[in-house]
Structure 1
Amino acid sequence: MPTLSKKVGSRWTGSVFVLSLLPLSVATLLGGCANNVDRMRTSSIAMDDYRNRHPIVLAEAAQKLDIFPPPELRGLDRRTYAQVAEYGRRYHYNGQGPIQIFVPTGANGGVSPSTIQSIRRALAAGGAYAPLQVTTYPVVNGGLASPLRLSFYGLKAKVADPCGQWPNDLASGGGVQGWENKPYWNYGCSYQNMMAEQVADPRDLVGPRAEDPADTEMRAHAIDSIRKGVDPSTDWKVKNTAISNVGIDQ
């Protein structure tokens, strides 16, 4: 068919029709590659990075403290007082609303008014001047120690999803998912949860704090040392002890 081929000089080329379809075929193949969806980014399963799968978020949640003041004391002992004072500092920075005190009721329950007053003073020592709401809860097992529980709502860092989810079999008994050499679903969740619980101020996870004022005394000392030609850095003197002398009375 003369319409499907043409002569260039003294040689015949391939079919004009086939050559015209070649760019279209390449474009079709490339378009198919472009439509190949990356399932790792668009599926319901999050990305493999544990920080994306188990992110730390800030939320308003109840922050509780269980204390066990000695029943024979009319107030708080030193250790419990320090715990409540630290709890008051947490309220001062992140808390809002009243502070609730849950008092156990029953055979071993109850608390003296002087203990409530000691709790109020310890909270005030920590900077918490919030109204107290005293309520009771029933003691389920009288043979166990029943704590006094303090609770307030405030900003708290926590993991968005609960840990302990195992949607897939680690041994891959029913499929080949374990052969992909990717982190399992629950990987990193406990680590993120531990980090969230240890943060003193959850706002530090969002942004840095304001810069503190400069130490004018340290700055003047450094400038004076430079003027004298002395190294302004701090000279730490460390006295090492030989291992052979450890445990020997001098």
Structure 2
Amino acid sequence: MNRLPLSLLALVLTALPVACQSRPAEPARPTAQPGTPLDNHSIKVRGASEVLELHLDPAFPTLKRADLNKLERFIAAYRDRGHGPLRMVMPENGASPQLAVEAIKVARELAWEKGVAWDEISGSVYEADGRQAPILLTFDVYEAVAPDCRSMAAFDLSDISGNNELGNFGCSVRHNLAQMIADPADLLAERELDPRDSRRVSIIMEAYRQGQPTGATGGEENVSISNVGGGGGG
């Protein structure tokens, strides 16, 4: 029986692990989607502008009732979700300069009556070149952009080899949430809080220590009792 020299045998044994490792390893199948559903289906925020055009009619000395209704709704929208100043733009060198000045005056006064402070209103002009041009009101808003959810038909529901969550998981929830957000600007930063009423806080804390009600209470004259369905007569 022929025997291999010890040096040759050692060389063969050393080369075996190298030969086994020379085969490229198969990539491991991911066990979960990267990130969380909130990360994978985030709600984006984009800026936009709301614009109202109020056309001037030389036959009327001021804004029409229909225009005033539009203006009231526009101001209410600004109070609800507007950001930055309420901009009022007046035509310059237009066909009815006095009417434009009067319309801006009415718009400013109505905005103030509806709760818009004077320092929240800004004004500017644009060239009308002699035309009967409208006055413009505009303010900035933010819009929520919902994630684009893929159809469930795009996924193989029978594939259980990786035990992964579907790529669409959580998308519909985020899509619906984007439609319900009152002011998408809240997704960008927290709102500033109003100054705390220290005196009111002290009153509430003192009432709490004494075991008294901490909420506002009304007198007996503010209490109404309904006798609908009750008996009685005479």
Q: TM-score, normalised by structure 2?
A: 0.49
Higher relative contact order (CA 8 A, sep 6+): 2
Normalising by structure 1, what TM-score? 0.47
